Amino acid sequence: MELLKQRIIEEGVILSDQVLKLDGLLNHQVDPQLTMEMGREFAARFKESGITRVLTVESSGIAVAFATAYELGVPLVFARRKKTLLAEEDAYCERVPSFTKGIVTDIMLSRQYLKSEDRVLFIDDIIANGDAARGLIKIIERSGAELVGLGIVIEKCFQAGARTIREQGITLESLVKIESLTNGTITFGE
Ligand code: G4P
Ligand code: NA
Ligand code: NA
């Protein structure tokens, strides 16, 4: 998506060789027009896959997951980040380490909103190490639903998340690939 690359160049702030701040685009402010365009792109890539639900993890993936679900005409379900350690009977829970944040969080998804007959498209904003994605993939497996694929807005190719997931035989489509952030420059892939 050339338009998205352009916006990443305009809005992105390189914080280090590892991290690109994208508050103007994904993590704080959202451009509805651009986000709907991302949703149309994901919907086009997965339109023949019989998707019945779009899943994401709160919070930054919700806007683009909404746009995708709207285009596909299916519900969006977002896994919640739990603030309590109490086990919930009617929910799937997974503990997710965050490499960048240095903390663990628990993500939770009610059994009510993910059924064994579902065909799931998992949408997220950024994939780095892929820990959150792995947590949600485990939940989808436990539910008996079929994971059709992942749609990721920005793939950071220099971290292992996307590669590891593809090596498991899972389809992962990204809109923009970032190969490197070194020397104060964003280098795009492909
Ligand atoms: P992972 O999700 O791939 O495992 O990434 P990691 O644990 O390393 O990162 C934790 C959070 O930081 C994730 O957001 C992820 O999207 C975000 N992140 C990782 N690298 C970058 C980056 O270069 N730029 C930006 N802007 N964000 C990055 P999250 O915890 O899922 O929170 P939320 O944003 O969805 O609320
Ligand atoms: Na996210
Ligand atoms: Na994020």
ipTM of the complex: 0.94
* Ligand 1 pocket residue status of 99, Cβ below 6 Å: yes
pLDDT in tens, 6-37: 999 999 999 999 999 999 999 999 999 999 99
Rg (CA), the chain: 16
**Residue that has been written with the tokens 């339109």 in this structure:** 47
- The percentage of the chain sitting over the pLDDT mark of 70, rounded to a whole number, equals 97
Q: Give the ranges where 12-115 is alpha helix by DSSP (H).
A: 32-46, 62-72
pLDDT in tens, 69-106: 999 999 999 999 987 666 677 999 999 987 777 889 89
CB within 8 Å of 138: residues ≥ 6 apart:
94
Structural domains in the chain, CATH included, are 2-188 (3.40.50.2020)
Atom of ligand 1 lying closest to residue 161 CA:
3
49 with 149: CB under 8 angstroms? yes
- pTM comes to 0.96
* Ligand 1 pocket residue status of 61, Cβ below 6 Å: yes
Overall average pLDDT of the 124-144 stretch: 97
Q: Give the residue, 148 or 88, on which the prediction is more confident.
A: 148
When mean pLDDT is compared across 44-58, 92-106, 172-186, the lowest value belongs to 92-106
Distance of CA 3 from the midpoint of ligand 3 (Å)? 20
Give the pLDDT confidence score for residue 87 in this predicted structure. Answer: 66
